[in-house]
Amino acid sequence: MKTHTHYITINTNKRVDFVRLTPKIQEIVDKSNIKEGIVLVNPMHITASIYINDNEQGLIKDYQEWLEKLAPKDKDYHHHLTGEDNGWSHLWRTVMGREVTVAITKGELDLGPWEEIFYAEFDGQRNKKILVKVLGA
């Protein structure tokens, strides 16, 4: 079994943003020369998520509205007693998930017809690191 590790540095212009990563992840898989295996994509930050879904702007807006209803940004969270102002962003990350693992078949990401890999940023505007770990043969 071979492994290939790559780190992506990302810095969004907005505090909350959704970034399509599928082409970048496929590029990393291509460079790994792994034809059969899996790729793990992990944001390595407690206020960001990696998820898979449709690349449709209405759905992304729906996510933002839904998350805001679940954990409003203007609520006074206990976490704010530490001097932070991002309690909601930690909750959003928990709901959206930490990471994804995708199969690699014949050197390609084995995604469904509408599936795309996204980075969801919930407390951005600074450098953050995404781990991409490719495993296989």
Mean pLDDT of the chain: 98
Assess contact for 78 and 87: CB atoms under 8 A. yes
Strands (E), the chain: 2-10, 17-20, 36-42, 48-54, 100-105, 108-109, 115-121, 128-136
**What is the domain-level CATH number for residue 76?**
2.60.120.460
pLDDT of 11-42, one tens digit each?
999 999 999 999 999 999 999 999 999 999 99
Name the domain count of the chain.
Answer: 1
Distance set, CA 123 to CA 93, 107, 132, 135 (Å): 10, 34, 21, 30
Query: Whole domain around residue 129: which residue ranges?
Result: 2-136
* CB-CB neighbours of 80 under 10 Å: 13
CA distance 44 to 89: 14
CA distance 94 to 124: 16
Per-residue pLDDT tens listing for the chain (137 residues): 999 999 999 999 999 999 999 999 999 999 999 999 999 999 999 999 999 999 999 999 999 999 999 999 999 999 999 999 999 999 999 999 999 999 999 999 999 999 999 999 999 999 999 999 999 99
Q: Which helix (H) or strand (E) holds 102?
A: strand 100-105
Residue 95 confidence (pLDDT)? 97
* Furthest-apart CA atoms within the chain: distance in Å: 51
Quote the percentage of the chain above a pLDDT of 70: 100
**In which order are the strands placed within the sheet that holds 115-121?**
17-20, 115-121, 48-54
